[in-house]
Amino acid sequence: MAIRQIRKDGDDILRKKSKDVEVIDEKVKELLQDMLETMQVANGVGISAVQVGILKRLVVIDIQDGSGPIKLVNPVIVKQKGKQEVEEGCLSFPNQFAKVVRPKEVTVKALNENGEQITIKGKELLAQALAHEIDHLDGKLFVDIMEPGTMEYLDPEEKK
């Protein structure tokens, strides 16, 4: 497996719409695993294929709650409920955070990496991560929906 380069703010690919995955083969499974490893190395909770330069509807999420990583193929939000204002960041926008309003609960239909139809219900952080990553698949970024004037830039040197 390999750590992939994360595409950053200003890269045109982040604004493109991803295409459905027609066949889940070994190449797709390897990409999902690469995405997981890339996300873990970058200390993220989610990543989409477009963020590693591949315009396929693939998402990996791990909110570190002990339930393990979720690998989704062709995910679609079919239901959302409530609202939550959250502080959000993105691996493609390092050290930048802003307030956004996301659904408090979502229901997502997708295929797992074995091609089986699954439904995931997410609340709070999982709902936020699912909505964020699925937005990526449509070329939509968190900065597009952030509340004006809430962007914060963290100095990476302060963490040391």
- List residues with catalytic annotation: 133
At 153, list the tokens: 């830039």
| Alpha-carbon distance values, 54 to 46, 50, 104, 106 (Å) | 15, 5, 29, 25
Q: Which amino acid is at 148?
A: P
- Of the candidates 3, 25, 34, the one whose C-alpha atom is nearest the C-alpha of residue 111 is 25
At 113, list the tokens: 């990496």
Backbone angles phi and psi of 32, in degrees to 5: -60, -40
Q: With contact defined as beta carbons under 8 Å apart, do 57 and 49 qualify?
A: yes
- Helix, strand, or coil here: 146? strand
